[in-house]
Amino acid sequence: MKELKDRVAVVTGASTGIGRSVAVECGRAGMRVVLASQNPERLAAAVDEVRATRASAIGVPTDVSDRAAVEQLAEATLREFGAVHLLVNNAGVYAPGYSWETPLEEWEWVVGVNLWGPLYAIRAFMPHLLAQPEAHIVNVSSTGGLMTTPVQGPYTSSKHALVGLSKGLKADLVIKGANVGVTVVCPGMVATNIISQMQTTGPGGEPRPRAELAPEVREIWNVMSTLTNAGIPADDVGPMVLEAVRENRFWLLPNGEQFFDVFDAELGELKAGL
């Protein structure tokens, strides 16, 4: 989708991190932007930031794991702007722990946001994307969707599934003969607050109690937090995403190659110390 000016973008998980960066970059490109997030205060601040680029923007509080809420997001988009051309499924959450010890409620929460959320959005927005001369879908997965990492069962399972969904979606759209591109983003080390939000946000948007984790699990969590904080700025990713959209590129791995090397080294040191 080479032409972005005056077109309509919808970005979920848009109040912080990569989602906020993409939304702001869409505004800079002259797009009209719909920002979705579960946190109203952070969402309002992100909308103001997009509007500061002189773009038209609205915020729609949305829990993407709720199908009805996602359908309402689509309705709000069409009501405000009359069309949609770019859908960015970015909202994502994380819960550490051994797969068999992680509460089922947290499994359902992580899979609900990371996998069902994009699927609900694709189903809600696809008829309107297909109605355009050209359109694009971006699914934000993770390098955790390409490699196995320990004590992240819900996260890596859902992110692997999102990569598979993206591959299947691209094939379906080719068969359909639709001019709708697909990009799957698998970030490596990017400085976002997905790790720190584990302490403040959980199922239903409620604060989570401090998790009782085994020492080795908490140590891996600390490694992940260190790697995340040392990553490239989230602001760097928005321009990369829009470049991939313009070029109709399927794969985008912001800082992904470095993640594989560094994580393997950090994990090797951790195992040696256990």
Q: What is the DSSP string of 194-222?
A: TTGGGGT--GGGPPPPPP---HHHHHHHH
Residue corresponding to tokens 């904080």: 229
DSSP 8-state code for residue 208: P
Question: Which among 98, 143, 154, 155 has a CA at the least distance from the CA of 264?
Answer: 143
Q: CA angle 222-224-227, nearest 5°?
A: 110
How many domains would you assign to the chain? 1
**Are the CB atoms for 75 and 67 separated by under 8 Å?**
no
Confidence of residue 213 (pLDDT cuts 50, 70, 90): confident
For 186-212, b/e burial (b = at least 16 CB within 10 A) is bbbbbbbebbebbeebbbeeeeeeebe
Supply φ then ψ for residue 232, to 5 degrees.
-65, 155
12 within domain boundaries: yes
Average pLDDT over residues 140-152: 88
Is the model's pLDDT at 23 over the cut of 50?
yes
242 within domain boundaries: yes
**Are the CB atoms for 270 and 220 separated by under 8 Å?**
yes
> What CATH number corresponds to the domain at position 130?
3.40.50.720
H or E element that contains 34:
strand 32-37
Is the model's pLDDT at 61 over the cut of 80?
yes
3 within domain boundaries: no
The SS3 of residue 182 is: strand
28 within domain boundaries: yes
Is the model's pLDDT at 189 over the cut of 80?
no
Classify residue 11 as left (phi > 0), alpha (psi -120 to 50) or beta: beta
Q: What is the pLDDT of residue 40?
A: 95
**Chain centre to alpha carbon of residue 264:** 24
Is the model's pLDDT at 143 over the cut of 90?
no
Dist CA 96 CA 251 (whole Å) = 26
1 within domain boundaries: no
**Are the CB atoms for 159 and 112 separated by under 8 Å?**
no
Average pLDDT over residues 128-152: 92
**Are the CB atoms for 186 and 255 separated by under 8 Å?**
no
143 within domain boundaries: yes
Dist CA 38 CA 60 (whole Å) = 9
120 within domain boundaries: yes
**Are the CB atoms for 274 and 267 separated by under 8 Å?**
no
Q: What is the span of the domain harbouring residue 126?
A: 8-273
Q: What is the pLDDT of residue 266?
A: 47
**When comparing pLDDT for 234 and 205, which is higher?**
234
Q: Provide the annotated active-site residues.
A: 155
**Chain centre to alpha carbon of residue 242:** 14
**Range in 95-109, 155-169, 212-226, 240-254 with the lowest mean pLDDT:** 212-226
**First and final CA of the chain: distance in angstroms?**
50
Share of the chain above pLDDT 90, in %: 70
Dist CA 225 CA 253 (whole Å) = 19
Is the model's pLDDT at 270 over the cut of 50?
no
Dist CA 129 CA 137 (whole Å) = 9
2 within domain boundaries: no
Question: Which among 110, 125, 20 has a CA at the least distance from the CA of 70?
Answer: 125
Is the model's pLDDT at 268 over the cut of 70?
no
